[in-house]
Amino acid sequence: MAEKYNILVTGGAGYLGSIMVPQLLGMGHSVTVLDNFMFSQNSLAHICSNINFRMTRGDVRDISTLKPLVRMADIIIPLAALVGAPMCDNDSIGAKTTNVDAVNSLIGLMSREQRVLMPITNSGYGIGQASKICDENTPLNPITLYGRTKVEAEKLVLERENSISFRLATVFGMAPRMRLDLLVNDFVYRAVNDRALVLFESHFKRNYIHTRDVSRVFQHGIENFEAMRGQSYNVGLSEANLSKLELCEKIKGFVPGFEFSEAKIGEDPDKRDYMVSNRKIEGTGFLATYSLDDGIRELVKGYQMIRDSVYGNS
């Protein structure tokens, strides 16, 4: 029988946490969430009846709030962050204090026995080289403030050894705390509601992962921690190293009236352009199970419910 843990998830009411926390509870773990509810979300309302769920409203940068929660935890999953290049650029001080300083404080409060499973972004690879696939040994070259803070946080976490870092591809899919600003989610939203999209730097490639597969890889890390600890792992769909143009062509298969064009001038503020290898995580026995087609299909369905610009991080 799998061991049950006390798990602290900071930022657990956000996009990833709103899927992950219920799944962790479903596995029999006790889960405490610390969140400041900056988006006024009620994404965990449906699990308040679960006796193994605890909720604290507060800021991850507040040591007096964080300290007693850390003391009770076997495992900590630090999801709390300012996520995305635009959001970090809009609040550079908040980006550093939340994405880096709060992680450093968290580590300082932990014993050597406590475990950390940390999400960062594979945007740390920056702009790749043509036809070169990035693996975990590829030098990191983040070009946005967001990417730099997450790379710095990963370094802090891995230096303590009893930790795992997951370098997540661009996440997609429906969630109780929805984000429309993520690339696949955004493009499908525009296809469904505007039927048109102008692409900047349409040849830029990146990798993708469904939000439910993100939850699954954290569960995988918990169950295989001793074999995986002290290392970073790319987490994405191996068949989904796609350009923006290729992504739009895929979306058009589900939204036939969708038209898109390529702009000859203009730049994407998040200049990610790289292909990623997920062989290392796959070598541990984890395989992503939700395809891009699965995600596009569910987003088209979900956007019959969501038509509001508040679902974003920018």
Residue-level pLDDT at 307 = 75
Give the residue with greater pLDDT, 116 vs 124: 116
Predicted TM-score (pTM) of this structure: 0.94
- In this predicted structure, the answer to whether residue 21 has a pLDDT above a threshold of 80 is yes
Please state, in angstroms and rounded to a whole number, the distance separating the CA atoms of residues 103 and 160. Answer: 12
pLDDT digits (tens, 9 = 90+) for 142-175: 989 999 999 999 999 999 989 999 999 999 999 9
DSSP assignment letter at 74: S
Residues 134/122, Cβ–Cβ less than 8 Å:
yes
Residue-level pLDDT at 284 = 98
Give the residue with greater pLDDT, 272 vs 36: 36
Percent of the chain residues topping a pLDDT of 90: 83
pLDDT digits (tens, 9 = 90+) for 184-243: 999 999 999 999 999 988 988 899 999 999 999 999 999 999 999 999 999 999 999 999
- In this predicted structure, the answer to whether residue 2 has a pLDDT above a threshold of 90 is no
Quote the crossing angle between the two packed helices 145-159 and 102-109, to the nearest 10°: 10
Please state, in angstroms and rounded to a whole number, the distance separating the CA atoms of residues 223 and 20. Answer: 15
The CB-side HSE value for 42 (13 A sphere, CA atoms) comes to 3
Residue-level pLDDT at 310 = 65
Determine the topology of domain 6-171+209-236+272-284 in CATH. Answer: Rossmann fold (3.40.50)
pLDDT digits (tens, 9 = 90+) for 131-145: 679 999 998 889 899
Residue-level pLDDT at 137 = 94
User: What phi-psi label fits residue 186: left (phi over 0), alpha (psi between -120 and 50 degrees) or beta?
Assistant: alpha
Residue-level pLDDT at 264 = 77
Question: Which pLDDT band, with edges at 50, 70 and 90, does 124 fall under?
Answer: confident
Question: Which pLDDT band, with edges at 50, 70 and 90, does 130 fall under?
Answer: low
Across residues 72-88, what is the average pLDDT?
95
**Closest-CA residue to 109 (of 228, 3, 30, 8):** 8
The full set of domain ranges for the chain reads: 6-171+209-236+272-284
pLDDT digits (tens, 9 = 90+) for 260-291: 999 877 666 666 778 899 999 999 999 999 99
Dihedral sign from CA coordinates of 186, 197, 307, 257: negative
